[in-house]
């Protein structure tokens, strides 16, 4: 599986170039979830597909931008689910965005079938974080030493200072608003850009805090897609010593998504903040 991570570096370089040069207008189509597609979404999806589909260990690839699974190597071992450019709509504001990968055992598209995950951050620097289940995430940073030359492990502390509350506040459930406000009353800092990858990356790099995208009255099952976005980050957060749960306090890595493009409420963070979430929602350990 580690050799699949190697291909992500060439994906990172190619998508980073596309972000800097592609037209930011809309393409003609919509993705599988019904979102309008930007030309950049289509371009990034094509780059990921063309590079990943060459790797012999990859049995199939499933893109957030497409409805169906694409079988690429019948003898392959893994299915890679990916979001080619998460947060693409904020590129127009020149904010950081990312690509997210989940590497699942062939035919096991569930939390327990996830073997490894990774994400790329297209920001002031090109960064990559990758984790094999149960081992600390590795953080690769680019700079004067070269592309992804600097490496370190990522570890979450018991408690942080950052609060990244997603979703439209008008549609939050009362218990969620009370929870978010209680953290701000404790002095937590608001850190939310609307880009899942940089928002979750910041909490990991700053070693603590919480990111939440709850079920809301307009989106009871949340907005973020389980296979492409939520489960890959759940593996990374648990591997960094944090927790990743749904709105009933259940581990997201025990989730069995109901469909390829199913969404789920999600809470990622250090253990103190997840404990506070469980108190506020009146849930125990799932």
- Nearest to ligand P6P by Cβ — which residue? 196
Q: Is the Cβ of residue 102 or residue 167 nearer to ligand P6P in the bound state?
A: 167
Q: What is the CB neighbour count within 10 angstroms for residue 103?
A: 26
What's the rounded Cα separation, in Å, for the pair 280 and 219?
20
Which residues form the interface with ligand P6P (CB under 6 A)?
86-87, 89, 166-168, 194-196, 223
Of 123 and 194, which has the nearer Cβ to ligand P6P? 194
Distance of closest approach, residue 28 Cβ to ligand P6P, in angstroms: 20
Q: Which is nearer to ligand P6P, 72 or 85 (CB)?
A: 85
CB 59 within 8 A of CB 26: no
Between 132 and 164, whose beta carbon lies closer to ligand P6P? 164
Report the nearest approach of ligand P6P to the CB of residue 220 (Å).
Answer: 14
Per the CB < 8 A criterion, the answer to whether 213 and 224 are in contact is yes
C-beta of 91: minimal distance to ligand P6P in Å? 11
Q: Min. distance of Cβ 188 from ligand P6P in angstroms? A: 17
Nearest residue (CB) to ligand P6P, 195 versus 208: 195
Tokens of 22: 């592609």
Among residues 94 and 145, whose Cβ is nearest to ligand P6P? 94
CB 228, min distance to ligand P6P, A: 10
Q: How far is the CB of 12 from ligand P6P (least distance, A)?
A: 17
């Amino acid at each position: 599986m580690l050799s699949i991570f190697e291909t992500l570096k060439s994906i990172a370089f190619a998508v980073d170039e596309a972000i800097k040069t592609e037209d930011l207008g809309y393409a003609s189509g919509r993705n599988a979830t019904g979102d309008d597609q930007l030309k950049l979404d289509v371009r990034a999806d094509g780059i990921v597909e063309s590079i990943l589909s060459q790797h012999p260990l990859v049995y199939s690839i499933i893109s957030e931008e497409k409805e169906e699974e694409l079988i690429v190597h019948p003898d392959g071992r893994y299915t890679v689910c990916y979001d080619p450019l998460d947060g693409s709509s904020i590129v127009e504001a020149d904010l950081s965005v990312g690509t997210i990968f989940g590497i699942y055992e062939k035919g096991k598209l569930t939390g327990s079938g996830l073997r490894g995950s990774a994400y790329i951050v297209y920001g002031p620097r090109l960064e990559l974080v990758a984790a094999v289940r149960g081992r600390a995430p590795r953080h690769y940073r680019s700079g004067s030493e070269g592309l992804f030359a600097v490496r370190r492990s990522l570890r979450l502390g018991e408690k942080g200072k950052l609060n990244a509350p997603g979703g439209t506040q008008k549609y939050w459930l009362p218990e969620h608003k009370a929870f978010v406000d209680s953290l701000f009353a404790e002095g937590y800092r608001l850190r939310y850009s609307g880009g899942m990858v940089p928002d979750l990356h910041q909490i990991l790099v700053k070693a603590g805090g919480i990111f939440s995208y709850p079920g809301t009255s307009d989106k009871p099952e949340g907005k973020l897609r389980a296979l492409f976005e939520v489960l890959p980050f759940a593996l990374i957060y648990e591997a960094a010593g944090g927790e990743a749960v749904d709105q009933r306090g259940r581990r997201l890595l025990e989730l069995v998504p109901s469909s390829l493009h199913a969404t789920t409420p999600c809470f990622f963070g250090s253990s103190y903040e997840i404990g506070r979430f469980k108190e506020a929602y009146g849930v125990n350990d799932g």
